[in-house]
Amino acid sequence: MSKVVKSVFYDDLQKAGNFKQLEHRLLGESNLPGPRANLGAASAFADAFAFSEVTREAWELIVEWSQVLDAPTDDPREFLPFCALQAMGAYYRYAESSQQEVILQCCQAAMNDSRWRMREAAAIALQRIGEQDFGVLQSLFDSMLDTAGALEKRAFIATLAHPPLLKEPAHALYALKLSEQILDEIAAGQTRYNTEEFRVLSKGLEYALSVFVEHAPEAGFELLAKFAVTEDKRMLKIVKSNLGKARLTKKFSQDVERIQLLMNSE
């Protein structure tokens, strides 16, 4: 079924005159307003850009859609930039260098978007890029980390908490190293607490670490142990939440128990 949807989107994108019709179709299939956008349609649309022969008009279309900033959360028109960002991620490997710069700029802007769905689109787009070339993610995140805000840091870990990216052990270790830097900053009081941005970052850390630990358990549980021996309630909440994830309790029960004992001894 996905191939059929992809083919329809691909054919439509070859004909600039169909763009308005395509827009109406995506809006109609968006499932918005509602709690869950049509992720299948967004992914199929993005897949139509995973080719080198994307037309100039199709490229200009997703750039235009990525700039739809006046559609509030759950408005059907929010689906257009949601789809456009994912399409940019799919197209990255085939794009010219100037286009690649635009793609990364759009992803960075979406990291800080007030709309949670757009922040998710940024992570999905970057995951697509990372599956093509993980080095792009490393270069981007390393260049941003020193000055990154809470929402940008959340985008980093949300992007990396994608199992296909972590099959390579070095990638999982990179994710843990970056997470440790973020946690060190929180522990040192360098992150503003009691803000919505920190709440979003904390929620991300409360699940993402377990994904990283699953793929690099030795280094991962060492990281959790480091932050389990603290009086910082925010840090303990992050560690405890990850220890409770089934991906760890089912496969590494002894390690989980060991870290829990460290927390209880404090």
Q: In the predicted model, what is the mean pLDDT of the chain?
A: 92
Please compute the mean of the pLDDT values over residues 209-215 and round it to a whole number. 98
Cα–Cα distance for residue pair 128/119, rounded to 1 Å: 15
Task: Give me the pLDDT at residue 14, please.
Answer: 74
Q: Is the pLDDT of residue 174 over 90?
A: yes
Task: Give me the pLDDT at residue 120, please.
Answer: 98
Please compute the mean of the pLDDT values over residues 159-167 and round it to a whole number. 98
Task: Give me the pLDDT at residue 259, please.
Answer: 96
The model carries a pTM of 0.92
Please compute the mean of the pLDDT values over residues 86-105 and round it to a whole number. 97
Alpha helices in the chain (DSSP H): 2-13, 19-29, 39-47, 56-66, 79-91, 97-111, 116-132, 134-144, 150-160, 169-187, 196-215, 217-228, 233-243, 246-249, 253-264
Task: Give me the pLDDT at residue 8, please.
Answer: 61
Cα–Cα distance for residue pair 192/194, rounded to 1 Å: 7
Q: Is the pLDDT of residue 200 over 80?
A: yes
Q: Which of 242, 166, 164 is nearest to 209 (CA)?
A: 242
Q: Is the pLDDT of residue 53 over 50?
A: yes
Residue 169's Cβ-count burial label (10 Å; 0-12, 13-18, 19+) is exposed
Please compute the mean of the pLDDT values over residues 169-189 and round it to a whole number. 94
Please compute the mean of the pLDDT values over residues 124-130 and round it to a whole number. 98
Task: Give me the pLDDT at residue 219, please.
Answer: 98
Please compute the mean of the pLDDT values over residues 214-235 and round it to a whole number. 94
Please compute the mean of the pLDDT values over residues 146-171 and round it to a whole number. 97
Q: Which of 62, 68, 57 is nearest to 89 (CA)?
A: 62
Task: Give me the pLDDT at residue 265, please.
Answer: 67
191 confidence band (pLDDT: 50, 70, 90): low
Task: Give me the pLDDT at residue 266, please.
Answer: 56
Please compute the mean of the pLDDT values over residues 29-33 and round it to a whole number. 95
Cα–Cα distance for residue pair 79/33, rounded to 1 Å: 10
Q: Is the pLDDT of residue 148 over 50?
A: yes
Cα–Cα distance for residue pair 227/238, rounded to 1 Å: 9
Lowest mean pLDDT of 36-45, 200-209, 228-237, 249-258, name the range. 228-237
Q: What tokens does 163 get?
A: 């199992």
